[in-house]
Structure 1
Amino acid sequence: MSSDLLRALTVSTAISIFLCPEALAQSAPAPEAEAGTSTSEENEEAQAPGAAGTQLDTILVVDVGAGANATAGANLITIDQQEIDRKKPQDLREVFSGEPQIAVGGAIPSTQKIYVNGVDENNLAVTVDGSRQNNKVFHHNGTYLLDPALLKAASVQAGVAPADAGPGALAGSLGFETKDAVDLLEPGRNFGGFVTGIWDTNSETFTTGVSGFGRQDGFEYLGYINYGRGGNFTAGNGQEMPGTGTDLISGLAKIAYESVEGHRFELSHEQVRDDELRPYRANVYINRPGREPELRNYDLRRQNTVFTYTDTSPEGWWDPKVVLAYSKTQIAAPEYFGAVVSPTEGATSSFNGKVENRFALDIGSVTAGFDFYNDKADLDYLNPTEPFFTDERATNIGAYAQARLEPFDRTRISFGGRADHQWFTGVDDSDWNNAGISGNISGEYDLMPEFLTVKAGTSHVWGGVPLAENYLQNPAWTYGDGPEPVTSNNYTAGLEARYNGFTFEANVFRTDINDARLPVFGRGALVPAFTSIRTLDLVSKGWEIGGRYDWDAGFVSVKYADINADVDGVPADTEIGRYLTTPLGQIVMIGAGYSFDDWGVKVGGDIEIALKTDRTLVRHPTDPASEKKELPGYEVVNAYVEWTPPSKPNFTLRADALNIFDEAYTDRAAYGQDFVGVAPHFDPGRSFRLSATARF
């Protein structure tokens, strides 16, 4: 479908809904369905303001990691539905804006990577709707391409994660949860949908999304498709950034059935594809005249399929959950050597699942179960004369238990452990078996009830042998005495004070990762200790402080983080930190929002300030020759205004002013900016994003 046709479809649909909302209002439920309205729906209807059709905010209990509950004493960061609705994010960086502990590097969605307390997300237990993600394909691309349009919540447990967050939670857990039909339906309705159109003035990118959803007789369904098309963006210095265009399509489908007894079965499938011209290395500009063209096509695809069973009406000790999932990420990009073209494709996949039960106790709960994954990372290098095909595989089975208790007044504790056994297979078909034990404990205590809480936690994590990046695999690799399992130790402590709408928080943290696998392709005679099974040690530490004031119509928040990471005792750079860390330093985030409810208007904005750091001037022993440079500071200011006419509550207009002062900068977590001779992407300069959403 052409972009012009999509624009016409979006505009015409939006206008019709704006002019005739009554004709397109969500269908009323059948009488028998209305009689079965849940208690939560009755409460929402009872609390609704006078205007009919107004959609109410929903209080969400979000999962953490692979479906785990939040842990007392943990350093928990939650982006809930209310926050997502306020931000209307278009990429991962906007999802986590305002949280300096979470840095997202990359100027375009397909190259974005997430760092939590300075640690790459590949060292966290990352899940989408409970499905384990295995996305380490190519370090010049992002590890997780996400369309936030139907994101329900994102939750991070930084550092210390519970045992039921899943295997490999070396530096915490990161869980994304997508919306269900009931999250989108207005109270008392059985069918609905929306259409949205977004125009970005900088890159002249138009994005349109259409969704339909409903429920009937215990069944629920949801369908969504989103398409974006546009050109290169211009940086704050007026320079066009080649290879930053948009050609992205994403979709989500869900179907569920819930019996009257509370047995819920859900099946979801999500796909995202980014297929566009990118630089030789997608996240930086490296000039190789005569051998490589300036741009090449990168085709990035990701899919995620999840089956989940839960009991929504648990009784006593019976509160089961079953997850069975398959996820896959693949990148196809040709390699050029003059006139010789070698099509290359790398793919990672994970077949994973778990069975667990939550045992309710008088003083809390215990969750116990087992999980598994079968991960694969393969590379097809189709050189005309010397093609090769490689893969590494890992299978893991784990058993775990996590207690969450309130044994005394004002005291909440959590502790747990897991045992894992992993079978690893190398590119030479050599097999290696390893096993290990992980444990965690954390807690919090109300020094002054409803005013001051202190918290702390620690964990030891056994992570097995991580699979190598696909695009670095070498068919000549051998593994010597065998790859070393990676382990970590995490420490967090903090406090939170609350008074009359004010919240103050402070946290300190440290993560030590030992024997982190960071292989290189290798040339000439291959020595496993320096190629296939090379390991490094990471120490990432820092502190965070913040304050927030909430009142009926708005909020103001300020947060500051100072994060530094060393690899093998030397300050990290973006090259040695591949899939491990990145230089961050000091970052300040400021945010504010205000609602004029009588007019249906919301306004707000945010400021990101990164301070200059010269820790990157140190040359790492693994690359003593490359000349380095410091990371400059920058300030970026964004603002928005949103209007939902009280007379047309199904129609919303929004305008975002991004990088208002046209700052020329590269975001702090982006790759390559600390090396002389490497030109990273600048981030987009000033842009205005205009959007319209019509709900029916």
Structure 2
Amino acid sequence: MKKLRWRLLVSVCVLNGAYFSTGAAAQDSVDASEELDPVVVYSFNNDRFAVAADRNTSIYVSRQAIEAAEMGTLRDVFAEDASVTVGGGIPIAQKIFVNGVDALNLNMTIEGAMQNNRAFHHVTANAIDPALLRAVRVDAGIAAADSGPNALGGSIAFQLIDALDLLEDGETMGGKATLSFDTNGNTFSQALTGFAEHNGFDILAFAKNAKGQDYTSGGDWEIPGTGANLQTGLLKGGYTSDTGHRFEVSGMMLKDKEERPHRANIGSLTRKPNDTIRLYDTLRKSFSFRYEHLEPTDLYDPEVVLGFSENNIDVPVPYGSKGTSNTLNGKVANTFHFGEDIGFTTGFDFYRKTANYEDPSSDLEEVATNFGGFGQVRWTPLSALKLSAGLRLDHQRFEGLGDFDTSVTGLSGNGSASYEVLEGLKLKAGYATVFGGIALEDNYVFNPSWDYSGIKPSRSHNVTTGFEFERSGFLLSGEVFRTDISDARSGDNNVDVLTEGFNLAAGYKWSSGTAKITYSNTRVEVDGDAADTYIAQDFAAPLGQVIAFNISHRLEEYDLTVGGDVQAALDYDTGSGDSNRTIDGYAVVGLFAEYQPEQIDGLKLRFEANNIFDEDYSDRGTYGGDYQTVNTLKEPGRSFSLTANYKF
């Protein structure tokens, strides 16, 4: 890891998150004015606010989880925490839910470039290759004002690998080659990374290809349209001046062009047996420019971001459909440090979102443009007490079909507090009300006959309260949450969406290993009634009770790390509408062994046995499990994989 002099590094034990990170040790407090010695950077973008009260609900995905998911999917990235669910067995269908809320209702960024380019409800708006990731932070429910606009259910921020992450001290260039093979679907993946640094300039180039056949579910049932055919690329460069000015540019793409299930997130519909597979041609792009100062002063601690992202979802059969959605966004902010215990972040941001549907007989488009200003105060009045509060003002112009044009304006506010009542025991709570504006619709359901006259801007109310106890390697935490979204957009109408429940976590970290179990219990309502997967689609998911257990242990004398995980969900009856069906529970067990021989520097071998009991199941976040007429998209059955990494 390349060592840089940072004025502030925070790497912190947070609820359901960084407790088991393999990075730098956690700190309960940081002197924001003290210049530290050079340190190894493991934290989330040198997150200066990681110990702030508004991070009470934040989940920092551990480096261990990110590295383990390198040749996997987003579901593997979030496998350590039951409160984040990823449904869908193939990458283009994987949708993220945070405390039950669909990520479409969160502010999501990659390197600061806003995502959530909504297109076609049968595919995801949030695909990303885990091999590109260096850090992930999820702000569940409560998002600070400077996290960005429209954070109805919180926010998710992804950061991508760069050369400075991979270079060791004294190195100026290097590379990494990765090969992986999975027996279920005979999927062969190859990735190559090159990186270099010279006179303050750094650059990284990454390319990956994954190709395979249709996988089989538990019981050896072949699932048509699930063969891997994914190409990923990343080019990222930066420059750091002698005085600490840091500029970064990045561009990434993911391409998946392959025959998929007729409705990519559904195995099949019993009433339409002839709808088997068809071609999906998908391309996702994200570009960003970032500026920050790594040696800020009390009055100059800036952040500048300019981003662009785009999804192209083309489905030639049967209508020659082409869906394009994109977002151009920017942000300028500065943090003023008024002494050691108080800081104020203020600035403005904007976005322009476009959603277009085109076929030989149609060309339909919606556009939303937003300008916002924000301020967030973070204060530690006592060593045991942390406070945070913020406001946003957003003005949005919405242009709909048929020359419809309107503007809406709204305020958002948040407040959070944490108090250490005893050594290691913290009580914490937060509230946020968020102006969501008028969301762009799924462009594959655009209807020229829509009447926008009654459409309203959405607003959410988020409440969370809980505790966290951490001492001598033990962790115990719990929280109760509620997200109430009023006037969420559905076509040319509005609906009210509610998710509520609680999360629990327990764990222990010893000198050579960790063990952790998390439990999440979530229920969903739409317009006051219990919701099934169809009614809640694009808003939330009826998840019920979900459990995640992870354990690992390092055998130093053998250069070996071994461990495993259990992903489980209990039976759940949505009790809603025409479905009125209990979604079956499941328990899936996996084991792994990772070997890093001391004799061969840079080599790492990882063996995994996944779903070892060949459970026939669909992840709880997968659509349609509560409908008799839906054959859900099954997850892979038993598989064995071997991954070889060689860094040179």
Scaled to the shorter chain, the TM-score interval is: over 0.9
Residues 1:695 and 2:641 are matched in the alignment: no
Residue 70 of structure 1 deviates from its aligned partner by 6.2
Q: Which residue is equivalent to 1:16?
A: none
Q: 1:428 to 1:640 in 2, by over 3 A?
A: same
The SS at the match of 1:581 is coil
Maintained 8 Å contact 1:68/1:165 = no
Classify the secondary structure of the residue corresponding to 2:582: coil
Q: CA deviation at 1:150?
A: 2.3
The 5 Å alignment of 1:628-643 reads 628-643=580-595
1:159 counterpart (141, 150, 153): 141
- Contact (CA 8 Å) 2:139, 2:155: kept in 1 or not? yes
Deviations 1:156-177 (A, max 9, x none): 1111110000000101111111
Is 1:647 aligned to residue 599 of structure 2? yes
**Residue pair 2:231, 2:254 contacting (<8 A) in 1 also:** yes
Name the residue aligned to 1:179.
Answer: 161
The structure 2 residue matched to 1:298, chosen from 277, 280, 283, is 280
User: Which of the numbers 511, 528, 533 marks the counterpart of 2:483?
Assistant: 511
3-state DSSP class of the match of 1:270? Answer: strand
Kept in 2, the 8 Å contact 1:139–1:579? The answer is yes
Q: Distance in 2 between matches of 1:597 and 1:627?
A: 52
Shift of 1:83: 3.6
**Could you tell me how far apart the structure 2 residues matched to 1:291 and 1:158 are?**
40
* Structure 1 counterpart of 2:431: 458
User: Do the aligned partners of 2:270 and 2:631 also contact (CA within 8 Å) in 1?
Assistant: no
Structure 1 residues 441 and 634: alpha-carbon distance in aligned structure 2, compared to 1, 3 A threshold: same
Contact 2:370/2:396 (8 A) holds in 1: yes
Q: Aligned residues: percent identity?
A: 38
Tell me, in whole angstroms, the C-alpha distance in 2 between the residues paired with 1:71 and 1:275.
Answer: 43
Partner of 1:124: 106
How far did residue 143 of structure 1 move?
A: 1.8
Please tell me whether the aligned partners of residues 192 and 695 of structure 1 are also in contact (alpha carbons under 8 angstroms).
Answer: yes
Which of 468, 471, 482 aligns to 1:499? It is: 471
Q: CA deviation at 1:394?
A: 0.3
Contact 1:659 1:686 in 2 (8 A): yes
Q: Name the residue aligned to 1:356.
A: 333
How far apart are the structure 1 equivalents of 2:453 and 2:431?
34
Give the equivalent residue in structure 1 for 2:356: 378
What's the secondary structure of 1:598's corresponding residue? helix
Q: Is the 8 A contact 2:65 2:76 kept in 1?
A: no
Q: CA offsets per residue over residues 67-97 of structure 1, 9 Å max, x none? A: 9766415211110324423554611110000
Change (3 A) 1:56 1:95: closer
Instruction: Tell me how far 1:674 sits from its aligned partner.
Output: 1.0
Change (3 A) 1:68 1:135: farther
Equivalent AA in structure 2 for residue 581 of structure 1? A
> How far does the alpha carbon of each residue in 1:184-233 deviate from its partner, in whole angstroms, 9 at most, with x for none?
11222111110101101011010100010010011000000000000100
Match of 1:15 in 2: none
Specify whether residues 261 and 138 from structure 1 end up closer, same or farther in structure 2 by C-alpha distance, changes over 3 A only: same
Q: Measured at CA, do residues 324 and 496 of structure 1 come closer, stay the same or move farther in structure 2, by a change above 3 Å?
A: same
Picking from 169, 186, 192, the partner of 2:151 is 169
Q: Per the alignment, do residues 659 and 64 of structure 1 end up closer, same or farther by CA in structure 2, a change over 3 Å counting?
A: farther
Instruction: Please tell me whether residue 195 in structure 1 is matched to residue 177 in structure 2.
Output: yes
Give the corresponding residue for 1:555.
514
Q: Give the residue type in structure 1 aligned to 2:328.
A: F
Cα distance, 1:676 vs structure 2 = 1.2
CA apart distance, 1:335: 3.2
- Which letter maps to 1:188? G
* Residue 17 of structure 1: aligned partner: none
Matched, 1:427 2:408: no
More strand by share: 2
Task: Give secondary structure in 2 for the equivalent of 1:608.
Answer: strand
**What is the identity, as a one-letter code, of the residue corresponding to 1:478?**
D
Aligned equivalent of 1:478: 451
Deviation string, structure 1 residues 544-586 (Cα, Å, up to 9, x no partner): 1111100110011111111111111111111111110111011
- Change in Cα spacing, 1:597 to 1:433, as seen in structure 2 (3 Å) is same
Deviation at 1:289, TM superposition (A): 9.1
Query: Which residue in the other structure is 2:552 paired with?
Result: 593
d(CA) in 1 for partners of 2:586, 2:270: 30
Determine the structure 1 residue equivalent to 2:343.
365
Q: Are 1:663 and 2:637 an aligned pair?
A: no
Whole-Å separation in 1 of the counterparts to 2:418 and 2:46: 18
User: What residue identity is the alignment partner of 2:475?
Assistant: T
Q: Secondary structure at the match of 1:683?
A: coil
Is 1:328 the counterpart of 2:315? The answer is no
Rounded Cα–Cα distance in structure 2 between residues aligned with 1:594 and 1:258: 38
TM-score by structure 1 length? 0.86
- Identify if the C-alpha distance between structure 1 residues 640 and 88 changes in structure 2 by more than 3 Å, giving closer, same or farther: farther
- Give 1:287 shift: 5.0
Native 8 Å contact 2:267 2:634 kept in 1: no
Map 1:11-90; keep pairs closer than 5 Å: 38-39=4-5, 58-62=40-44, 71-72=52-53, 74-88=56-70, 90=72
**Which ranges of structure 1 fall in alignment gaps of 5 or more residues?**
1-25, 27-33, 44-54, 337-341, 520-532, 620-625
**CA positional deviation for 1:135:** 2.1
Describe the SS at the equivalent of 1:428. helix
State the distance in 2 between where 1:281 and 1:290 align: 11
**Alpha-carbon deviation of 1:627?**
4.4
Alignment length, in residue pairs? 618
2:53 is paired with a residue whose SS is coil
**Cα RMSD after superposing both structures:** 2.1
1:87-166 → structure 2 map (5 Å cutoff) = 87-88=69-70, 90-166=72-148
Map 1:377-416 to 2 at 5 A. 377-382=355-360, 387-416=361-390
1:235 is aligned to 2:207 = no
Q: Secondary structure of the equivalent of 2:217?
A: coil
Residues 94-143 of structure 1: per-residue CA shift (max 9 Å, x gap): 00002111111101111000000010001111011111113210111112
* Aligned match for 1:488, one of 437, 460, 478: 460
Cα distance in 2, alignment partners of residues 248 and 611 from structure 1: 33
